[in-house]
Amino acid sequence: MAARSIATLTVSFGLVSIPVRLFSATEASKAISFNLLHKACGSRLKQQYFCIKEEVPVARDDMVKGYEFAKDQYVMFTPEELKAMEEAGTHMAEIAEFVPLASVDPVYFDKAYYLAPDKGGNKPYALLHRALMETGRCALGRWAARGKQYIVMIRPVAEGLVMQQLLYADEVRSIREVEIPETEVKPAELKLATQLIEQQSVDKFDPTEYVDDVRARVEKAIEGKVQGQEIVMQEEQPAGAQVIDLMEALRASLEKKGPAKSKSSPAPVAAAESRKPPKRKEAPEPVAVATTTRKAAKKL
């Protein structure tokens, strides 16, 4: 099924304008969600808002938004006041500068969109894509949508252009806030660690090699419930003995790990395909589902 465009906009740099169509690069609908139900009868619950002072339910028409500037003290804003402060959508992403792609830390990455040329945009789109690929750079600019203003990065991939929303500087914490003590690394330890990395290295990232096992487990349990099966929880087996010596752990890892996997082997079948719940069956067999209690991390 072909992807559907969610918006159109114009990417501009210098005097060049590129009409493009916007496509969401991710699918939040793939996530499994549960509704809250009344345990006694199984009916779905309805959310209500209560005034903590008068202890009465409040209708949506009687709600306003407020900002807490001190403990239990608020300034209120009407919908009209909030609307007046919104950024007007311009359907324009204006490029301000070009920087080396490697200079943008992925910690700033937010939502991603695919860009495709719109009518009359094939030539300038291809030109920008080729130029970014040749220079190893990405484009930085601003984009206004949904009443907000975003920093965006337009970066090239083999097939086309990706527009990546970026977080603002004050939305990203510095790693300097994290206490990381200085620790000596011995040459022998570094050598074994490097060998382990080389042993498990592959040429490129293949996302199909990774499947959401938790989602598959939940889907299996849902199917069992729909069929009327009893879910039997199995206790996780205890882990083996702890390895407390770093050199011993590295040597054991090197012996345990075989050569790097070949990327030519077929990828595992993803469990993310949507499907309708099966019809209810009679006399079902119990479904065993392992618990997922995590063990404490091993200390090396």
Condensed to tens digits (0 to 9), the pLDDT of residues 259-288 reads 555 544 444 434 334 444 444 445 455 555
**pLDDT score at 276:** 46
Determine whether 18 is exposed, middle or buried from the number of CB atoms within 10 Å of its CB (0-12, 13-18, 19+): buried
Name all domains of the chain by residue range, CATH numbers in brackets: 7-29+86-172 (2.40.290.10), 187-259+269-290 (no CATH)
71-75, 90-94, 99-103, 260-264: the lowest-pLDDT one? 260-264
The mean per-residue pLDDT over the stretch 228-237 comes to 74
**pLDDT score at 156:** 96
Please determine, for residue 1, whether its predicted confidence score (pLDDT) is greater than 80. no
**pLDDT score at 257:** 66
pLDDT tier, 238 (very low <50, low <70, confident <90, very high otherwise): low
The mean per-residue pLDDT over the stretch 126-135 comes to 95
* Residue-averaged pLDDT of the chain: 81
Question: How many CA atoms are closer than 13 Å to the CA of 298, on its beta-carbon side?
Answer: 10
Given a contact cutoff of 8 angstroms between Cβ atoms, the answer to whether 127 and 117 are in contact is no
Comparing 109 with 208, the larger pLDDT belongs to: 109
**pLDDT score at 170:** 93
**pLDDT score at 97:** 95
pLDDT tier, 88 (very low <50, low <70, confident <90, very high otherwise): low
Please determine, for residue 300, whether its predicted confidence score (pLDDT) is greater than 90. no
Distances (CA, A) of 243 to 116, 240, 247, 293: 52, 9, 10, 21
pLDDT tier, 135 (very low <50, low <70, confident <90, very high otherwise): very high
Put residue 14 in one of left, alpha, beta given phi > 0 → left and psi -120 to 50 → alpha.
left
86-95, 151-160, 164-173, 237-246: the lowest-pLDDT one? 237-246
The mean per-residue pLDDT over the stretch 93-113 comes to 94
CA gap 10, 17 in Å, rounded: 6
User: Helix, strand or coil for residue 15?
Assistant: coil
The mean per-residue pLDDT over the stretch 151-180 comes to 94
pTM here is 0.66
The mean per-residue pLDDT over the stretch 116-140 comes to 95
**pLDDT score at 15:** 83
Our CA dihedral for 272, 273, 276, 280, rounded to 10 degrees, sits at: -60
User: What's the gap between Cα 251 and its chain centre?
Assistant: 35
Give percent above pLDDT 70 in the chain: 79
Please determine, for residue 161, whether its predicted confidence score (pLDDT) is greater than 60. yes
Kindly state the helix (H) or strand (E) to which residue 222 belongs, with its residue range: helix 213-226
The structure tokens 């920008």 sit at 128
With b for 16 or more beta-carbon neighbours within 10 A and e for fewer, the 2-17 pattern comes to eeeeeeebebebeeee
**pLDDT score at 241:** 55
CA gap 195, 57 in Å, rounded: 64
